[in-house]
Amino acid sequence: RRIIGVEPGDTSDRIFGLALDIGTSKIVGHLVDLKSGRTIAVASIENPQAVYGEDIITRITHASKGDANLKELQRLAVDGINKVLHEVCGNSGVDPFNVYEVMIVGNTAMHHFFFGIQPKYVAQSPYVPALRKAVSVKAKDLGVDAYPCGIVTSLPIVAGFVGADAVADVIATGMHELSENSILIDIGTNTEVFVGNRDYLLCCSCASGPAFEGAHIKHGMRAVTGAIEKVHIDNNFDVKYETIGGVKPLGVCGSAVIDVIAEMFKHGIIDANGRINSQIESPRIRASNEGLEFVIAWKDETATGREITVTQKDIREFQLAKAAIYSACSILMKKRGLSEEKIDFLFIAGAFGNYINPENAKVIGLIPDVTSEKIRFVGNTAVAGAKMALISKEMRNAAEQLVEKIRYHELAADPNFNQEFINALNIPHRFIGRFPSIRKHLKSFR
């Protein structure tokens, strides 16, 4: 225990904490009343480090070239956190000096960047972090604009590509306390997968890329107001869609691309290889400078005055992403000796997880073919777990014990990964028998 400040009178109503998820693409913060445990305000920003690369490996390579580069990435992370801190405090009338504790979670590289730890070994075999245990540092020593002697703490790390955010995921879902078999998938630029129960948890990480967050998609965007979030195609190839906020569409978010690819497959617009069928006569299927594309919304329907489409290239981006995620699930399930029938819960976490249509996620082969009743969409469990650890010392102790129990599996060293990945590139999969529940819906297999 440490005394970090002395104040006159009863100031217990002005004690706050900040729970932060430092993601590769986004930084999310929850301002929490430490007396009641209630969330006061929420804010998020794009991660400023993106100027040095959208993906973790590019940033690690930059940091590895010298201490000055590492310090620059650290500065950007701290600047981003301070922006979130000032936004949540400004929106709630809280003085940042009344924020006495900050709980940080993030993938291993983001954790190292923030604390100024050289991350180069994370990207080199055997892919180990510089340290795994929780870190605690005074806010003033990091440049965080909270109470100067307040404490900035992280949750512990599992492995090079399974960081404190993944530990927070497990804590928030409680899967480490379940006797039933579960799968947890935290979908992001880097996707973490856990399989097991309270007796044994196996995990891995895969590079799924930013497609699910709208990047590298022609009309992609994040799941914010104006994004098309749901898509349905009828037998005449007419499209019905819903946007976030009910306004004219600006683009498509990840859940909508899952929907449109699944719907196109159901109606034979694309085949199992993901190729758009040029023989279909419909004004929605047309050639562009980037190859064939499918029109979701005509220009008179959109807020931009331009058509919103899904291109052949977009479909390929999603095939790569979904193949990585499904392969990770498949390999861990095999290592645990679990079939789909033996899975009791499938937790899907991530910023856009609540919008996903579970049936369409199975149609494209993104997730294993478990019954939809077993699927739970749990949102941003990383920041939820950070909040739990922020207000509970017992939860922090549980996290320390948890990382010693989790067993990490390195996909890059798995001899079966390449073949699993190749098989999973097909929609839904090269071996359709892995998806018996959706076979009846697919024209390609009737």
In a domain, 143, yes or no: yes
Asked whether residue 2 is domain-assigned, the answer is: no
- In terms of domains, do 376 and 418 share one? yes
| Number of structural domains in the chain | 3
Encode burial over 265-289: b for 16+ CB neighbours within 10 A, e otherwise: bbbebbebebebeeeeeeebbeeee
For residue 54, the model assigns a pLDDT of 82
pLDDT at 217: 93
Same domain, 272 and 333: no
337 and 193 share a domain? yes
Q: What would the pLDDT profile of 315-325 be if each residue is shown by its tens digit?
A: 999 999 999 99
Please state the pTM of the whole predicted model. Answer: 0.90
Tell me whether residue 312 is in a domain. yes
Whether 50 and 140 share a structural domain = yes
Residues 372 and 426 in one domain: yes
Bridge partners, 193 (sequence order)? 185, 204
Q: What is the pLDDT of residue 12?
A: 72
State the chain's mean pLDDT as an integer.
93
Q: Is residue 399 in some structural domain? A: no
So what's the pLDDT on residue 289?
Answer: 86
Question: What pLDDT is recorded for position 377?
Answer: 92
**Residue 132 exposure: Cα atoms within 13 Å on the Cβ side:** 18
Q: Which residues of 96-118 are buried (b: 16+ CB within 10 A; e: fewer)?
A: bbbbbbbbbbbbbbbbbbbbbbe
* 191 and 298 both lie in a single domain: no
Residue 391 lies in a domain: no
Residue 398: inside a domain = no
One DSSP character per residue, 196-217 reads: EETTEEEEEEEE--SGGGTTTS
Q: Which residues of the chain have pLDDT under 70?
A: 1, 351-354, 440-446
For residues 127 and 184, membership in a common domain is answered with no
- pLDDT per residue as tens digits for the range 355-388: 789 999 999 999 999 999 999 999 899 999 999 9
Co-location of 148 and 32 in the same domain: yes
Q: What are phi and psi of 293, to 5 degrees?
A: -145, 160
Residues 246, 113: one domain?
Answer: no
User: 217 with 322, same domain?
Assistant: no
Name the nearest CA neighbour of 118 among 69, 54, 56, 47.
69
In a domain, 362, yes or no: yes
Say if residue 340 is in the same domain as residue 206.
yes
Q: DSSP letters of 106-156?
A: E-HHHHHHHHT---GGGGSTT---S--S--EEEHHHHT-SS-TT-EEEE--
Report the pLDDT value the prediction gives residue 352, as an integer from 0 to 100: 64
Residues 105 and 403: their CA atoms lie apart, in Å, by: 14
CATH number where 32 lies: 3.30.420.480
Among residues 154, 176, 194, the one where a domain terminates is 154
Domain that holds residue 63: 12-154
**Does 114 map to a domain?**
yes
CATH number at residue 345: 3.30.420.40
- Helix, coil or strand: residue 50: helix
Domain check: are 375 and 241 in the same one? no
